Structure 1
Amino acid sequence: MQHLSGIDRARYALEKGQRIPVGALQPVVAASWQRCRDNGLDPHKPPPQQVISFSDIKRRREAKSAMRHLALAEMQLLYSQIAGSNFMIALADADGVVMDTISDQHFADSEAGRAILPGSVWSEGERGTNALGLAAAIGTSVAIYGREHYFAGHGHLSCMAAPILNPHGEICGLLDASCTHEARQEHTHALVRMAAAQIEKGLVYRECSDSFVFAFHPRVEYLDTLSAGLLSVSPDGCVTSINSRGKVLLAGLPAMLGSHFDTLFEAGFGAAMDGLLNGGCIRIRDRAGSGVFMICRQIGQGRLAARKPVASAVPPLLQKQDMPDFVCDDHSVKRSLGDVSSAAKLRMPMHITGETGTGKELMARHIHRVSGRKGEFVAVNCGAVPEDLFIAEIFGHERGAFTNARTEGAPGLVRSADRGTLFLDEVAEIPLAAQTSLLRFLDSMEVRAVGGQKVDKVDVQIVSATNRDLERMVTERLFRADLYYRLNAFTVHLPPLRARSDFAAIVRYLMEKMAPGMPVTDAAIANLSMRHWQGNIRELKTVLQRALVRRRTDYIDEDCFDEAVPALNSSEDCCEECRRRPLSRAKCQEIRSVYRRTNENVSQTARALGLSRTTVYKHVGSPQGYRTLVE
């Protein structure tokens, strides 16, 4: 066994019931493993998965409302700092009971993500060695990487946790960041510690509003950082709280609750107060002879002294220049985006399909951007133009060309879009009489105004969109077949919101635009994901706006959504495997719906949704066909 690494030797000994080799693990991890053994936990078996009732979760949230209020803001900031890293951030109380989570969709959909949810218990006694439970047990921050977890089933996880101390020095909560791989995340560990320290700092100001709060540090430039000691003192000079950094800076002195300012610093409390309130920053010696700079951060009764402002809002996430200004993490949407740039460069007419509110105009504007065209993006709602004026609006008209025509004439939308993009929204509403003229224009790119003789050549990218079934309209002779095939050179299908795999990212994106820095918990997103969303993203935006109005705190959780709405059917029209997960269930229902609409044609369903035939087979319940395909 000499050639084995430390963790390999340690796990071998653990699984064989032998003594853990000295030096093979961090001492705190080795001690935790031993405690787990003593408690009779079997590392081979799946760990217990205790989840408490929702009523108990609400009770715990209410008991820690001040801490939770501060923590959710820090969790949102932490999420923005590590976004894209496949992480979940969790807040737990001192018992290791998870109260809230904020995560990206990839982690939330993983096995680990489904295990770390509000109400789950992650104490060391329940889940063995894990960062959250170990931080609660030893009272300090800790990181547990991969197979350092006691239970083998947690070996794919890396997690970093830090305790949150109240002003009395007691653990009131735990902050944890977890990811689904074993890569060491020292940077994230540091961010978690900083976030916990910031929450502790906020608790001091909130819970010691009747006290003076002083920041102190040997170097004046550190007074506005988390490295500074924070000391709250009553009006008569008694210490009401001191943070962990303050205890380190005053090591060897009676830095404890109830001690007096005069026992810690050489200058008397009165003299120090005169300098702090009149001169701002002072230099003072502690009773051990070390000099520190000190400044008053809060005057009693919650009145704040002048201090350097600290930004509380989360900075908006930076967008890559070559990415669309909307969420596109869904597989089918991402696949479409990969092709539209090439199609636009070939000047292919593009047709966008999707239900109302799925973002068809946003996609059309993205097509215009990636085309590199210098002209304007001109949008026209074909259903809003009167039938007798449609041709004149599109192609323009000369002065006096018809009754009620503009006296000065009009160039028409096509000319306005020259060297740019013409977006024909609700293209199914184009009058039959006008469809011939539009088809002729698409073939020649030549335009002649109504009542005019001059023919102009234009260069226009055509993008059309509809929420109706044009193919069926062609069959029913409500839409010209040749025009349909001309517009349909390249099709982009936008799935409904209920079928989007990036639903959580859409919620966070919309909230960031409406209220930058507003935390949204995973429980809130899970609540929203159960709905049918007939109005899609447009409806979601309205619901989020109502939640912002109704909220009574600086975060959005499931309590902000109390209106009765129809939820997705959890047992019908869905394969067995997808019923347990709302987002997968929605996707499955969409696939089956299109499958029926195409007369159970797998190839057409796959093309319409931008999926592989394998994926369609898996959801429409055709085991024999699926086996044949994969064989």
Structure 2
Amino acid sequence: MPRQSTISEARTALEAGLSLPSAVLAPQVAASWQRCRALGLDPRASPRDVVVSFVEVKRRREEEATLRRLALAEMQLLYAQIAGSNFMIALGDRDGMVLDTLSDREFADSAAGRAIVPGSLWGEGERGTNALGLAARERAPVAIHGLEHYFSDHGHLSCMAAPILDPRGGVLGLLDASCSYEGRQQHTHALVRMAASQIENGLIFQESVGSFILAFHPRAEYLDTLSAGLVAIGRDGAVSSLNRAGSALLSGLPARIGCRFEDLFEARFGTVLDSMLGGGIARICDRAGSAVFMVCRRIGQDGLVGAKPSRTPMAPRPAPQPAGIAAEFVCEDPPLALAIAEIPRVLALGLPVHLVGETGSGKEVMARHIHGVSGRSGAFVALNCGAVPEALFASELFGHERGAFTGAREEGALGLARAADGGTLFLDEVAEMPLAAQATLLRFLDGLEVRAVGATKAVRVDVQIVSATNRDLKALVAERAFRADLYHRLNGMTIALPPLAARADFAAIVRHLLTRIAPGTAITDAAIRRLASRPWPGNVRELDAVLKRALVRLDGDRLDENAFVDGGPVGETDCCASCRPSLLSRHRCREIRTVYRDTGGNASRTARLLGLSRTTVYKHLDRPGPSDGACAHDLGRRNAIPPDLERL
């Protein structure tokens, strides 16, 4: 970057109407200044403050709904990385109109913060030389510091912007970070470029439905980074999308939309794909002779390429996802979305799916999503493996004949495995199973044959197995607390659900839950930022309770940041004695007590809002209710709640 003194000299020449000194400014800045001069803009005057109507902002937001979903998640992450640095982050459309902003309070209250608002236009014609407008024109990342801005009013700002390219290489939007010139950070420009690249990769996954998405790079260890090329290939072998990194890696080759895989690489598409579908990495050469490593990141909807049958008999392709599934499931978190994209192929192969995540992170919601994607006509049946006594495990899973044992139902019982025939059997809390029950489950998984307790004949069932736990099964295997053979049987594909605080789609989850709880109620961006700053040990379940509690106190049609003001540390006495030893139990108990207070001591309404029974509410209040007993968090083990009624 030119020295500040030379920029000052160039600025003096600009404001005096003289020729600009050569080799002082960056070429793109000098060219921008000349264009602004040609437009008759006075660098000493204030720029035109052009802001379109909110109706127009809303229309453009709706037009770019996919872009906004991905970008807002990245903006949250970027904000967390640079928070406290007097920054504002802005998302603009392809024309340089601001759609959304996130900022520190100090910057938002400044003159610049009041100028960078949704609906403001930042093209050269309105704002002179600036990063947002110049990035749109140049189709490349731009940094404009201090006096490099055309208008002197912007001389105290440092702005860094990167274009967001659509899967065909056109400018779809712009991402900008602005701060006071004195407070700028050198690494921020790199973070903005990385965020734009992440959004671009997300767009390829969103818009290339049914295509094979391949990652490639000359070094295998870079395949999981933003340096990797990403290319979407249709079933016919034609390129439908290529990211910016991929274009750079294939420079000099005919890398364009519509070209064929074989035009770019010295290998047949079908042959390379066959070597990758098992999760392997292929090593091939591009047409320029450079070696690259390649891996399949998403399997096309129609499976293998070409008409010839696979060497391995395949199960029928899953039926289309039933209506309503998407509305019940939010996943705009890029790493999780990559894993979910592989589910149809895994289900077609009949492999079990294993879910790992903290309590409340949405494992049962994910399991139900997998059931919906499978297209199976049978039921979704859940078994809480940790809530069933060892002696009753076989009868719960396989059912029993009439009078098979003392206490058996007179009419017998079907069993959960047969109830799930043709559907999905969800084995929740699988790490909590006693070793004897693990042996029983392993025998069932080996042949999917069910013999009811007391029966002499076995019946074969067709079930999709999904298991879940919040513990590390591999570590339990090493400790000999979990059978290695059962672990390998369940671990056909593992999906790790991130904790809520680490989800890139936190804002989308908040809005989804709020729409489900109270349709028509809005929530401000500031409120979501306040929620995002919390640790969320109870994950999605905790967020659900916090939103419901805020709705109890709602006076109006929207939730703002004041609805989520923390009340300070809560004393140990603000939870029941049974819950105090456990952090999560303490938090849950305090939520129940807080909602109870907010409802004016109405236990029935508290139970409705939190989705609990009145008995559970009373137990957490340390007062007599419909029944007495222990705190709700251990009722599942003590009172043998039917496992198919246990929730995640």
Q: TM-score, normalised by structure 1?
A: 0.50
CA–CA separation in structure 1 for the residues paired with 2:107 and 2:100 = 15
Q: How far 1:509 sits from its partner (Å)?
A: 3.0
Aligned counterparts of 1:515 and 1:35: Cα–Cα separation in 2: 51
User: For residue 335 of structure 2, what is the amino acid of its counterpart?
Assistant: V
Q: Does 1:62 align with 2:85?
A: no
Superposed CA RMSD: 3.2
Name the CA distance, whole Å, in 2 between partners of 1:61 and 1:46: 28
CA contact (8 A) 1:88 1:103 kept: yes
- Give the equivalent residue in structure 2 for 1:512: 533
Shift of 1:49: 0.8
1:541 pairs with 2:564: yes
Cα separation, 2, equivalents of 1:270 and 1:504: 47
Partner of residue 180, structure 1: 180
- 2:139 maps to what in 1? 139
- The Cα shift of 1:188 comes to 0.3
Greater displacement, 114-123 / 264-273:
264-273
Deviation digits for residues 244-289 of structure 1 (CA, Å, limit 9, x no counterpart): 1111111110000011000100011121111121352100100000
Structure whose CA Rg is larger: 1
- Measured after TM superposition, the shift of residue 510 of structure 1 is 3.5
> Do the aligned partners of residues 507 and 294 (structure 1) sit closer, same or farther apart at CA in structure 2, a change above 3 Å counting?
closer
C-alpha spacing 1:539/1:245, structure 2 compared with 1 (3 Å)? closer
- Displaced runs of 4 or more, over 4 A: 503-507, 514-518, 536-539
Match of 1:42 in 2: 42
Unmatched tracts of structure 2, length 5 or more: 305-332, 338-523, 541-550, 567-648
Conserved 8 A contact 2:526-2:561 = no
How far does the alpha carbon of each residue in 1:414-470 deviate from its partner, in whole angstroms, 9 at most, with x for none? xxxxxxxxxxxxxxxxxxxxxxxxxxxxxxxxxxxxxxxxxxxxxxxxxxxxxxxxx
Residue aligned with 1:278, SS: coil
SS at structure 1 position matched to 2:277: helix
CA shift digits 1:83-117 (9 cap, x unpaired): 10000000000000000001110000000000000
What is the distance in 1 between the residues matched to 2:142 and 2:48?
22
Query: For 2:4 and 2:209, how far apart are their aligned partners in 1?
Result: 56
How far apart in 1 are the matches of 2:205 and 2:234?
A: 13
State the one-letter code of the partner of 1:213: I
- The match for 1:310 is 335
Report how far residue 190 of structure 1 moved: 0.2
Runs of 5+ in structure 1 lacking a partner?
313-502, 519-527, 544-631
| Partner Cα separation in structure 2 for residue 165 and residue 302 of structure 1 | 27
SS of 1:289's equivalent in the other structure is coil
SS in structure 2 opposite 1:293?
strand
1:283 aligned counterpart, secondary structure: strand
**3-state SS, counterpart of residue 88 of structure 2:** strand
Change over 3 Å in CA distance of 1:244–1:20 after alignment to 2? same
- 1:448-459 to 2 correspondence within 5 Å? none
Q: CA deviation at 1:125?
A: 1.8
CA distance in 2, matches of 1:4, 1:104: 27
For 1:508-533, what per-residue CA distance to the aligned partner results, in whole angstroms no more than 9, with x for missing partners? 33443387999xxxxxxxxx9xx999
Q: Which residue identity is paired with 1:236?
A: D
Residue in structure 2 matched with residue 361 of structure 1 by the alignment:
none
CA distance in 2, matches of 1:277, 1:293: 14
What is the rounded CA distance, in whole Å, between the counterparts of 2:160 and 2:170 in structure 1? 20
After superposition, give the CA deviation of every residue in 1:358-388 in whole Å (9 maximum; x if it has no partner): xxxxxxxxxxxxxxxxxxxxxxxxxxxxxxx
Partners of 2:143 and 2:265 in 1: how far apart? 36
Q: How does 1:170-249 map to 2 (within 5 A)?
A: 170-249=170-249
**Per the alignment, in what secondary structure is the counterpart of residue 335 of structure 2?**
coil
SS in 1 for 2:73: helix
Q: Distance in 2 between matches of 1:538 and 1:532?
A: 13
Listed as ranges, the matches of 1:342-491 within 5 Å are: none
Corresponding letter in the other structure for 1:268: R
**AA of the residue aligned to 1:202:** G
Residue 108 (structure 1) aligns with:
108
**Counterparts of 1:218 and 1:58 in 2: how far apart (Å)?**
43
Q: Which amino acid aligns with 2:276?
A: L
Cα distance 1:280–1:160, how it changes in 2: closer, same or farther (>3 A)? same
Q: Confirm or deny: 8 A CA contact 1:145 1:182 kept in the other structure.
A: no
Tell me which residue corresponds to 1:91: 91
CA offsets 1:144-188 (integer angstroms, 9 cap, x no match): 001100000000110100000010111000000000224553300
Q: Residue 541 of structure 1 aligns to which amino acid in structure 2? A: F
Q: Which amino acid aligns with 2:198?
A: Q
Assess, with a 3 A threshold, how the Cα gap between structure 1 residues 150 and 230 changes in structure 2: closer, same or farther: same
Contact 1:104 1:504 in 2 (8 A): no
Give yes or no for contact 1:132–1:176 (8 Å, CA) kept in 2: yes
Shift in Å at residue 24 of structure 1?
A: 1.0
Structure 1 Cα separation of the partners of residues 213 and 279 of structure 2: 16
Q: Which residue of 2 aligns with 1:155?
A: 155
| SS of residue in 1 equivalent to 2:533 | helix
Deviation at 1:124, TM superposition (A): 1.6
Aligned length: 337
CA distance in structure 1 between the aligned counterparts of 2:254 and 2:119, rounded to whole angstroms: 39
Name whichever of 200-209 and 183-192 sits farther off.
Answer: 183-192
Q: Contact (CA 8 Å) 2:530, 2:561: kept in 1 or not?
A: no
Aligned residue runs from structure 1 range 326-345, under 5 A: none
Counterpart of 1:310, as a letter, is P
Within 5 Å, give how 1:257-268 maps onto structure 2. 257-268=257-268
Q: CA deviation at 1:76?
A: 0.3
Task: State how far apart, in whole Å, the 2-side matches of 1:7 and 1:187 are.
Answer: 22
Contact 1:96 1:132 in 2 (8 A): yes
With over 3 angstroms needed to count, the CA separation of the structure-2 counterparts of 1:38 and 1:214, relative to structure 1, is same
Give the distance between the partners of 1:511 and 1:309, measured in 2 at CA. 18
Instruction: Specify the SS of the correspondent of 2:278.
Output: helix
Tell me: CA distance 1:287–1:132, structure 2 relative to 1, closer, same or farther (3 Å).
same
Q: Distance in 1 between matches of 2:533 and 2:302?
A: 30
Deviation at 1:538, TM superposition (A): 10
For residues 104 and 80 of structure 1, the distance between their equivalents in structure 2, rounded to whole angstroms, comes to 11
Within-5 A mapping of 1:551-570: none
Conservation of the 8 A alpha-carbon contact between 2:279 and 2:295: no
Q: Distance in 1 between matches of 2:254 and 2:129?
A: 34
CA contact under 8 A between 1:87 and 1:179: conserved in structure 2? yes
Please give the residue correspondences for 1:247-286 in structure 2 after superposition, counting only pairs within 5 Å: 247-278=247-278, 280-286=280-286
Could you tell which deviates more after superposition, 183-192 or 65-74?
183-192
Residue 120 of structure 1 aligns to which amino acid in structure 2?
S
Cα 1:119–1:284 change in 2 (3 A) is same
The amino acid across from 1:232 in the alignment is A
Contact kept, 8 Å, 1:214 with 1:297, in 2: the verdict is yes
Structure 1: distance between partners of 2:239 and 2:159: 35
TM-score for the superposition, normalised by structure 2: 0.49
1:285 and 1:149, CA in 2 relative to 1: closer, same or farther beyond 3 A? same
Aligned twin of 1:331:
none
* 2:295 aligned partner: 295
Name the amino acid aligned to 1:509: R
Relative to 1, partners in 2 of residues 1:102 and 1:268: Cα closer, same or farther, differing over 3 Å?
Answer: same
Q: 1:504 to 1:169 in 2, by over 3 A?
A: closer
- The whole-number CA distance in structure 2 between the counterparts of 1:92 and 1:183 is 23
> Which AA in structure 1 matches 2:208?
C
For 1:221-246, what per-residue CA distance to the aligned partner results, in whole angstroms no more than 9, with x for missing partners?
00000000011111000010111111
- Kindly tell me: are residues 59 and 506 of structure 1, through their superposed partners in 2, closer, same or farther at Cα, counting changes over 3 Å? closer
* Corresponding residue for residue 118 of structure 1: 118
Alignment CA distance shift 1:515-1:44 (3 Å): farther
Give the whole-Å Cα distance in 1 for the aligned partners of 2:42 and 2:116.
Answer: 20
Distance 1:505 1:164, change over 3 A: closer
Partner AA of 1:253 in structure 2 = L
Tell me, yes or no, if the aligned pair for 1:47 and 1:151 is still in contact at 8 Å: yes
